[in-house]
Amino acid sequence: MAAVVPLDDGSDASEHEVASLDPSKLHTRLFKVSGAEIIVHVSQDPSSQSFWQEYTVALWILRTKNPDKARERCVETRPSVQEMHMRLWPGEVVQEASSKRRKKKSQKVWRNSQRVSTFFVECTLTTSMVISYMLFAASSSRRSPADRAYAVQCFKDLLRKLAEVRPEFEFWFQRHGDDEWTLVTCSVDSNGQYLFSGSSLWTTDFYRDNVGSLWAADFTNLTKPWVCHRTGRGPVLLHEYLAFVWDAQHPLQLREELNSGMYGVMTEVAYHLEILLMQVTSSLDEMPQNWGPLTNVRRMQDSVAWELKRTVSDALLALPVNDADGEPVDKEVWNLRTLIDRTLASAGVKIKKAVKVSDLAWASCA
HEC string of 317-363 equals HCCCCECCCCCECCHHHHHHHHHHHHHHHHCCCCHHHHHHHHHHHHH
For residue 236, list its beta bridge partners. Answer: 196
Lowest mean pLDDT among 306-320, 326-340, 347-361: 347-361
pLDDT in tens, 312-331: 444 544 444 455 555 555 55
At 122 the pLDDT is 74
- What's the rounded Cα separation, in Å, for the pair 309 and 318? 14
pLDDT in tens, 130-171: 999 999 999 999 999 999 999 999 999 999 999 999 999 999
Q: Which long-range contacts (CB under 8 A, 24 or more apart) does 355-364 make?
A: 355/308, 355/312, 357/312, 358/312, 358/315, 358/316, 361/312, 361/316, 361/336, 361/337, 362/316, 364/333, 364/336
Average model confidence (pLDDT) across the chain: 75
User: 3-state DSSP: the chain helix, strand, coil percent, rounded to 5?
Assistant: 45, 20, 35
Is 333's pLDDT higher than 60? no
Sign of CA dihedral 81, 121, 160, 34: positive
Lowest mean pLDDT among 101-105, 151-155, 216-220: 101-105
Share of the chain above pLDDT 70, in %: 64
pLDDT in tens, 239-255: 999 999 999 999 999 99
Contacts (Cβ under 8 Å, ≥6 apart) of 73:
58, 62, 64
List the beta strands (DSSP E) in the chain.
Answer: 16-18, 26-33, 36-43, 51-53, 94-96, 107-111, 114-118, 124-126, 169-174, 181-188, 194-197, 235-237
- What's the rounded Cα separation, in Å, for the pair 221 and 149? 13
pLDDT in tens, 188-204: 999 999 999 999 999 99
At 306 the pLDDT is 43
At 186 the pLDDT is 96
At 131 the pLDDT is 96
At 244 the pLDDT is 97
What average pLDDT does this structure show over 56-85? 90
- What's the rounded Cα separation, in Å, for the pair 110 and 108? 7
Model-level pTM? Answer: 0.71
Contacts (Cβ under 8 Å, ≥6 apart) of 83:
none
- What's the rounded Cα separation, in Å, for the pair 333 and 321? 10
- What's the rounded Cα separation, in Å, for the pair 14 and 11? 8
**Closest CA relative to residue 120, chosen from 145, 85, 95, 83:** 95
At 258 the pLDDT is 96
pLDDT in tens, 263-286: 999 999 999 999 999 999 988 764
What average pLDDT does this structure show over 302-307? 43
Is 225's pLDDT higher than 60? yes
Is 235's pLDDT higher than 70? yes
At 16 the pLDDT is 55
At 285 the pLDDT is 60
